[in-house]
Structure 1
Amino acid sequence: MPFEHIKTIFTPVLLTEEGDMDPALKLAGSLARASGAHVIARVLGVEVPRTYSPLSSVAANYVGEANEAMKKRADARARDAAHLLGGYAQSVDCLAHTAPHGILVDEMLMFGRLSDLSVVNRSAGRFDESGALLETLLFESGRPVLVTPPQASEFRARNIVVAWDGSSRAARAVADAMPLLRAADRVVIVCVTNEKDLRRPSPGTDLAGALARHAVAPEVNNLSASDRNAARAIREHAVAVQADLIVMGAFAHSRLRQMVLGGVTDSMLRDAEIPLFMSY
């Protein structure tokens, strides 16, 4: 098996009125089929916090009824998700889980830390529930995250773009993705210049030489872009070379990670139409 190093895949999906949970489930399932991995899936319902004031009994009753309805929906969707994943993977642990948002995200973090890879749907924005979940797993689990765009339906890693800036985060992503790179038919290293997040770029030829010692024969393409357009340059080049996966490190300002993501990271998380394999 080309991905036999992946033994456990974690995929948390939020139960929301909008959006489709299936892309992450399908990518997790298809990767499990290729690797023989165990899949841990959690369908997450965000509860409204309960109030205990004697003056708010009506509101408390409403909150209780809403949370109970949420739990029933989550249970039903978890059964659907288990059925979907069962069509791919031999070993599946799929359950519903409901809790207030902060508790929910914290509880999911340990699953990410105990897995080889987390597979998460792309978020529409940083400050919604899915954005908080994605960022927590990406920046705090210590494990790589596969970010899934809405149209994804099957995991592929035959043609991989590596977004290389010479940073420690990019190096971590390359190391985490090394088994995928070795199994790929084509690997393209993309280096972007004139971008503020890429202040100390390392030539792609140096990375190519290092990868060659792992039996990877990459191409190297250097792109020029302003700091505002670096992410777009990476995305457009990935489309141009028909990549089915982008490997890259995640960047965030060290003291203000809760407030400020790196420009390229933020744009890629919001707009990439190709699955992202990201490490921090």
Structure 2
Amino acid sequence: MKLEVFVPFVTYPESNSDAFAAHAASLAAQIDARLHAVAINADIPDVSNTLSKWLLDTPALIQQAESASRQRGQHLLALLKKEADDEGVEITTATVAAPIAMLGDVAASRARYFDLSFVGWEASNATSRMTAEAVIFGSGRPTVLLPELSDIVTLDHVAIAWDGSRVAARAVADAGFLLRRVSRISVITVLDEKPLAEKDAGERLATALRERGLNAESVSVKAQDCPIAETLQQTAIEKGAGLLVMGGYGHSRIRDFVLGGATEGVLNDLSMPVLLSH
């Protein structure tokens, strides 16, 4: 049975990059997934008054913005379909219009019907950041963040960020489809970021994975003065992993997300593909 993967494209006010389409198709081919892509276009209400209509022609500006959003969405869907066809990946596409404030909610609600989501990440792109947060914390499904400037390598080595917590355990369970496919797993535990309930937590998980027939090793590191997200990603990259699995720590507070340190660090500066599960 193929994995069913949801791919939301944001188009306004900041659009996903073309690279996201290529990365999504490449990863889907490696995990034998079927893609379901949706371009979420802007639906901008006309709240102008008589003066603004006369001075700025607000309705025309709104029409231009919505048209640009639709065109960008069509471009991204067509590009993904081409990339998917080249990779031999099955794909369906659709479009939906939503108010700008609801883009993330629309993506999260649609993501609930699939096994996982691929979400594009571009530096300084607030729209993709908002969408990523909404899908991670609102979909109830695992989310793979795909950075614009990081190519998808052959996925035969996966790293796990492990601290023995419930959220980390949920992430490992949600990544089971990946762990069973790869030839090597590195369990990374940062020793000096926060108190750990179990000193040997990393080795215990590695042992549990080996008992399931998986090739897993425990890697203990110290962050020292380095941010936790940078430590985790850099260690995973140095070990040769093509993807990092980690729990998404955070909760919503009146539409503002309160994030854990590692989660916020990854969302601020993504160096590699990361699977986040909340």
TM-score normalized by the length of structure 2: 0.86
Q: Is the 8 A contact 1:39 1:93 kept in 2?
A: yes
Contact preservation (8 Å) 2:15, 2:72: no
- How many residue pairs match? The answer is 274
Aligned-pair distance for 1:124?
2.9
Aligned mates of 2:99, 2:188 — CA distance in 1: 41
Distance 1:234 1:35 in 2: 23
2:36 to 37, 40, 43: 40
Q: Deviations over 1:228-250 (max 9, x none)?
A: 52222212211211111111111
The runs of 5 or more residues in structure 2 that have no matched partner are none
Q: Distance in 2 between matches of 1:236 and 1:228?
A: 10
CA deviations on 1:106-133 (whole Å, 9 max, x unpaired) are 22223211111101112435x8211111
User: What residue is the counterpart of 1:175 in the other structure?
Assistant: 173
CA gap of 1:201–1:23, structure 2 versus 1, over 3 A, is: farther
**One-letter amino acid of the counterpart of residue 278, structure 1:** L
Show CA shifts across 1:242-268 (max 9, x none). Answer: 111111111125768824211111112
Structure 1 contact 163–191 (Cα < 8 Å) conserved: yes
Contact 1:24 1:119 in 2 (8 A): no
CA distance in 1: counterparts of 2:230 and 2:251, whole angstroms:
20
User: Which residue is equivalent to 2:62?
Assistant: 63
Mapped partners of 2:192, 2:171: distance in 1: 22
- The residue aligned with 1:31 is 27
Amino acid at match of 1:13: F
Structure 1 residues 201, 233: CA separation in 2 closer, same or farther (over 3 Å shift)? Answer: farther
Residue of 235, 239, 255 corresponding to 1:237: 235
Secondary structure of the residue aligned to 1:191 is strand
| Partner deviation per Cα, 1:139-189 (whole Å, 9 max, x = no partner) | 111111111112334364311111101111110111111232122111111
Aligned residue for 1:8, secondary structure, equals strand
Structure 1 Cα separation of the partners of residues 211 and 244 of structure 2? 21
Q: Structure 1 residue 166 and structure 2 residue 161: aligned?
A: no
The CA deviation at 1:67 is 1.7
Amino acid across the alignment from 1:218: A
Match of 1:117 in 2: 116
SS of 1:49's partner is coil
Structure 2 partner of 1:213: 211
Distance 1:194 1:187 in 2: 22
Find 1:188's aligned residue among 181, 186, 189. 186
Percent identity between matched residues is: 30
Give the Cα separation in 1 of the matches to 2:161 and 2:196.
14
Distance 2:275 2:166 in 1: 15
Q: Write out per-residue CA displacement over residues 16-45 of structure 1, whole angstroms, 9 at most, x where no aligned residue.
A: 687763333223322333444321112333
Deviations 1:204-236 (A, max 9, x none): 111112212321131111112247522222122
2:96, 2:245 → 1: CA distance?
31
Change (3 A) 1:240 1:100: same
Distance 1:179 1:70 in 2: 35
**What's the C-alpha RMSD, in Å, of the aligned pairs?**
2.7
Aligned twin of 1:15: 11
The worse-fitting range, judged by mean Cα deviation, of 201-210 and 111-120 is 201-210
Which structure has the highest strand share of the two?
A: 2
Distance 1:18 1:153 in 2: 21
In structure 1, what residue type is equivalent to 2:187?
I
Q: Which amino acid aligns with 2:79?
A: D
